[in-house]
Every structure is written in C-alpha cells, then in structure tokens.
Structure 1
Amino acid sequence: MVYKQILKDIEEELLILEEDLLAWIDTDIDLIKQPLKDMIFSGGKRLRPAMVLAASRFGQYDFEKVRQLAVSVELIHTATLIHDDIIDDSPLRRGIPTIQSRLGKDVAVFAGDFVFSKVFELYAFSEHFELLRIVAKVLHKICEGELKQREDLFNTNLTFKDYIFRIRRKTAMLFALSAELGARASKAPEKTVKALYKYGMNIGIAFQIVDDLLDFTSNNTQLGKPVGADIREGVITLPTIYALRHSKQKEYLKDILLNKRTDEAEIENAIEIVKNSGGLNYARCIAEKYVEKAQKSIEQLPDIPIKKVLVNISTLVTNRTK
C-alpha cells in the first residue's frame, strides 16, 4: 500500500478498500480463490485507488459515492497484471509466484477474465453506470498499448515518440482515468476534472518510465521479477532507446537485440551497455520532467489539504525502489 506518511487523510479509507477488494474477487471456485487473495495481499501500492479518493475531494466529497470507483480501477489493474504475467511468462509478481506459474496459463487467462468481469458487474449495479463508457474506452486503449508493445518487440528503430505513445496507453491512461473518475463522481467543475486528468496522465507516464528504469537497477527481491526482463523479452524501453542512439557499443547492442540472442552472457552485456550509456540518468530526468508537468497541472486547483497528498504521490513515483 502507498506509504502511510503520504496517505494521511485517506489512509483509513484505503484500508476499507482492502476489504472491498477481497469481497469483489471472492469466488466459490477454490482453484483461483486463494491465488487471487494472495495477489491482492502481495503489496500493491494502491496508487490508482488513492488517486480516485484524492481527486474526489475537489468536488462534493462522499466516500460512499466513490468507494466502488476506487475498487474498480484496482480491479482493472489487477486483471491487466494477471494477463501481463501470462504474456511475459513471469514466474514472480511482487515477490510471489504468479497465477500463471502456479496454475498454468489457461487458468490464469480465466482468472484475469474473471476479475475484468467483476469490473463490469460493479458498474452495472452501481449509480455510476454512465461512467462505464469512459472506462470501456480506456480499456480498449490499454489493450492497444499492450498490443503495440508486442508489435514493437526487438524493434531497435523505436523513437521517444513511439515509446511515449505506448506507455500512455499501456499505463498512464489508467492513472488518468482514476483521477477523472474521482473528480466526475464528486461533480467537480469541468476545469478541475481536466486538470486532474492531466495530472494522472503525467504521473502515469513518469511511473512507467521509472518502472522501466528499475528493470535495470533493482535486485530480484526488490523488483519481484528477474532483473533485465525487458532486454530478455525484447521490450525496448527508454534507457535502451537512448543507448541505441548514444552508446559507443550501440551496434553490438543492436546486434544482440535484432538477433534475439538468448545467451546469458550477452544479455548481461546488453544490460551493462545500457547502464554505461547514460540511458538510466536520461530516463530519470525525463520521468522527473513528467512529474513536474503533473504538479504544474494542479497548481491552480484549490489549496485544500488533499492537494498536498497529490504532490507527495508524485514525489513517491520517482523515489520508489520497486
């Protein structure tokens, strides 16, 4: 969960959401019952629900009116993680065995679909049915982002623009949706909704850049998955894009990627080339710029206490280690 010192006003509400999440993923099917619970309890940051709750404070705040919306964005996030693990053949997620490694890809597909179906059930039986159109649009954009990532595997000609296009859809749109849902549900002014949407989008972009950075800098325990997984899988992220343009060994790096080398020594060489290129510092600087954009987008919002929480969340994004 998000660090307690940053949560402050919404800490108690997020704890209530933990119980809600367990209730919504509950099932009589023993095969997936415990694995889904384990995933929920495995240390998710709950940034997206926190953003729903924080954004809702800029309107006519009522926890009961936004409670289910906060649950919905975490359910969407959980379902996408389950499916991501299948695609990436990931053995670990947040330091514990993934559902696909425990039960097989076929069961994991259905588990992910089960969680997605709960999202639609939540909206169908809530007072926020009219927001489902916005949610559905974001879901198809998320799918486009994931498909674009698959399409671009081992593509050494990717540009910064290509990368941002992908991560906006793959990651940032769910952050933006979280902020927008909270603001709209509390009937905040349209100008405020747009400001919070921009905040969420920029925070989401920064979050994914840092995530891609951590793939090179964290250890297996911190990351909860093998270090250098992106290089191994051919996912070209911002540090690698930089190295492919500026490293003295860029041709060797390009050769490893284009030929999909699987030799562990060469994979390690590729990781070191990226590290030594300055790509990690470059990526961190870009992430910090997007955090600055996020903070600037909410400068004109009322100076209520929750605004400080949004600023603190943005700082957390660039300082995290996992």
Structure 2
Amino acid sequence: MEKLKLKSIYSEFRPDLEYIERELNRSVHSDSPMLEGACLALIGSGGKRIRPVFTLLASKFGDYNPAVTAKAAVPLELIHMASLVHDDVIDDADLRRGERTVKSMYGNHAAMYVGDFLLGRSLEIIGELEDPEIHRVLSQTMIEICVGEIIQIEDKFATEQNLRDYLRRIKRKTALLIASSCELGGLVAGADPRTVRKLKRFGYYVGMSFQITDDLLDFTGSEKQLGKPAGGDLLSGNITLPAIIGLRDPGLRPQLLDALEGRMGTEEMAQLLDSMRDSEAIRESVRISDRYLEKALREAESLPDLPDRDSLIRIAKFIGKRKF
C-alpha cells in the first residue's frame, strides 16, 4: 500500500522521471559485465528515487530542461547509491531492501570499486554543466557525506552520545544530500536565488525527518517492510535517536546495553523491540521528526504557487509517515 501511494504521487510527473531513469541506466554502462551488472542491480532494487525526484521538482521553479536537470539528478542518485554500497561493506550487510547486496554477491573488494565507479561516473556527468557553483555544492556535499560516515564509525557503540551528536551526524550522512538535490535542481534551472535558498532549506528539513523516520523504522518496522531484520542498527553498534533516548530510561537501558554488547539472543531481541515500540523513546523520536517535517512544509508553502509545490508537499508528508 505504501509503495502504491508513492507511485501514485510520482505518476503526476512520470514521463520526466522515466527520462531520468533511462539516463541513470545509461550512466552505468561499462566494458566490465560484472561492474555494469552490479550497478544495474542496484538501480533496479527498488529505491524511492527521493533525490532525483526532488531535483526534478525543484528545477520546475526555473527554466525547466529535462536533459539539463538529468545531469544533476543522475549524479546525485549515483552518489547515494555509492554510499549504500560502501555502507554495506562497512556494516557487513548481506541484504538491503530484501535483495542481496553487492558486497554479498561479489565480495568486499569488488563492492568498494563499484562504489568508486559510481562516484567517478557522477563527477563525469555533472562535469558537463559549466556553472562553478554547481560543482562547489556537489563537492562540498560529498566531503560532508564522507565526514558524516567517518563520524558514524567513530560513534559506534558510544553510549553517552547526545541528541546534538546524532543530529549533526544525520545532517551530514543524509540531510545534506537531499538539500543539495533541491538546491541543484533550482540552480540548473536558473531559479531566482531566494527560491533556491528556500528549496535548499526544504530539502534539509525533509532530509532530517527522512533519516529519523528511517531510524525509527529499524525498531518499529517488520522484516518484510524493511527488507532486513529489525534492530540491525543497534546490533551493529549504530546508536540512533530512539536508542539515545531509550538509554536514558532505567527500564530500557539494561536491555539496550545487552544488545550493544552482544549478550542478546533472538527471543530477547524480540522482547526489546516490543518494549521499544511502546516506549517514550519512540514517541519522542516521532515528535522530533514531525518538527522537522513541519519546518519543511512551511518552507514549501512559501515557494511560488506552482503545481510542483503541491507535489513537494505531498512527497514530504509521505516521507515523514512512511512505513518502508
């Protein structure tokens, strides 16, 4: 049902999105069948295409040109895909969205090169755009993503981290790429600077809500919804917002520490997830996500009154309340 709802929203601009999808597939052509096959499998694995969709819609606030917009939208999705491939190596993950990861199919060494190939392709494509501001935004975003990923590694199993630590980490890890998707969409279409700034802020707030919702789903979602076992972040030492808040609760803290220290079997993990689902940690995390979503909606409502503004609002609302 959730996926059908997203498809319904996307149907309003399907021809434009299909053009970007074709360009995305074309971008990963390689003389290596294994490399191209791995990339095509990633593309076909059921991603939400949030970043290229936001680039597409943001470009409608300027002089929209599908071919030009694709030169920003495709690289942004390739960067996102590369980060997922590298994440799966770091996390030793065999499944993503219910499908085998590149790492599980081809091994760590090949997976790292697949990620590097995707990053190289992204730079090659966006290099066809001449505006230096576009290149500055993209390069700065890539730097911040790398910093965010390193900080996440440094913060693994760090039980005393606080809300500020978490928010800074997800800003770099997730929100900035979504913000840049909106910003670059406006820039490539020559939208006025005030509108571009609003689009960027909208993307940032949506991105924060998006990642918090992702982290909530790791506790509240089912394996079928997630395409992987629930609680995986916690077991791998990735302490997300619900866990940070839960660790303050004397009733939850011992269970969370047992999970982090590898002292928890399948049955105990199921009990912990049940306890978390009915906890203030989940409710407070939802409230924080909702506050970011409300800020995003206010930014969207202040944009020029175009049909595409309504699409941005509908997608933002979906993102904040999704179940997968």
Determine whether 1:5 maps to 2:8.
Answer: yes
User: Residues of 1 paired with 2:27 and 2:167: CA distance?
Assistant: 33
Match of 1:311 in 2: 313
| 8 Å contact from structure 1 (residues 231, 267) kept in 2 | no
Match of 2:293 in 1: 291
User: Residues of 1 paired with 2:12 and 2:258: CA distance?
Assistant: 52
| 8 Å contact from structure 2 (residues 179, 200) kept in 1 | yes
Q: Deviation at 1:263?
A: 4.2
User: Residues of 2 paired with 1:247 and 1:271: CA distance?
Assistant: 16
Q: Which runs of 5+ in 1 are unaligned?
A: none
| 8 Å contact from structure 2 (residues 220, 273) kept in 1 | no
2:146 to 143, 151, 168: 143
| CA shift digits 1:143-194 (9 cap, x unpaired) | 1111111111111111111110000000000000000001111111111111
Determine whether 1:23 maps to 2:26.
Answer: yes
User: Residues of 2 paired with 1:264 and 1:313: CA distance?
Assistant: 36
Residues 252, 19 of structure 1: alpha-carbon distance in 2 compared, 3 angstrom cutoff: closer
Q: Deviation at 1:247?
A: 4.5
Q: Which runs of 5+ in 2 are unaligned?
A: none
Q: Partner of 2:248: helix, strand, or coil?
A: helix
TM-score (normalizing by structure 2)? 0.94
Matches within 5 A, 1:231-250: 231-250=234-253
Q: Partner of 1:3: helix, strand, or coil?
A: helix
Matches within 5 A, 1:264-279: 264-279=266-281
Q: Which amino acid aligns with 2:297?
A: Q
| CA shift digits 1:41-62 (9 cap, x unpaired) | 1111111101001111111222
Q: Partner of 1:240: helix, strand, or coil?
A: helix
Residues 241, 301 of structure 1: alpha-carbon distance in 2 compared, 3 angstrom cutoff: same
2:207 to 204, 208, 211: 204
Q: Which moved more, 1:9-18 or 1:166-175?
A: 9-18
Q: Which amino acid aligns with 2:150?
A: L
User: Residues of 1 paired with 2:36 and 2:303: CA distance?
Assistant: 42
Q: Partner of 2:247: helix, strand, or coil?
A: helix
Matches within 5 A, 1:1-322: 3-128=6-131, 130-254=133-257, 256-257=259-260, 259-261=261-263, 263-322=265-324
User: Residues of 1 paired with 2:235 and 2:254: CA distance?
Assistant: 17
User: Residues of 1 paired with 2:121 and 2:167: CA distance?
Assistant: 30
Residues 296, 130 of structure 1: alpha-carbon distance in 2 compared, 3 angstrom cutoff: closer
Q: Deviation at 1:227?
A: 1.3
Q: Deviation at 1:300?
A: 2.0
| Total equivalences in the alignment | 321
User: Residues of 2 paired with 1:249 and 1:226: CA distance?
Assistant: 20
| CA shift digits 1:197-240 (9 cap, x unpaired) | 01000000000001011111222222122211011101111111
| 8 Å contact from structure 1 (residues 183, 196) kept in 2 | yes
User: Residues of 1 paired with 2:124 and 2:242: CA distance?
Assistant: 40
TM-score (normalizing by structure 1)? 0.94
| 8 Å contact from structure 2 (residues 58, 186) kept in 1 | yes
- CA RMSD between the two structures: 1.8
Q: Partner of 2:160: helix, strand, or coil?
A: coil
Q: Which moved more, 1:167-176 or 1:261-270?
A: 261-270
| 8 Å contact from structure 2 (residues 151, 169) kept in 1 | yes
Q: Partner of 1:116: helix, strand, or coil?
A: helix
| 8 Å contact from structure 1 (residues 243, 273) kept in 2 | no
Q: Which moved more, 1:72-81 or 1:127-136?
A: 127-136
Q: Deviation at 1:298?
A: 2.4
Q: Which moved more, 1:242-251 or 1:175-184?
A: 242-251
Q: Deviation at 1:267?
A: 3.9
Residues 155, 265 of structure 1: alpha-carbon distance in 2 compared, 3 angstrom cutoff: farther
User: Residues of 2 paired with 1:26 and 1:247: CA distance?
Assistant: 54
User: Residues of 1 paired with 2:283 and 2:217: CA distance?
Assistant: 12
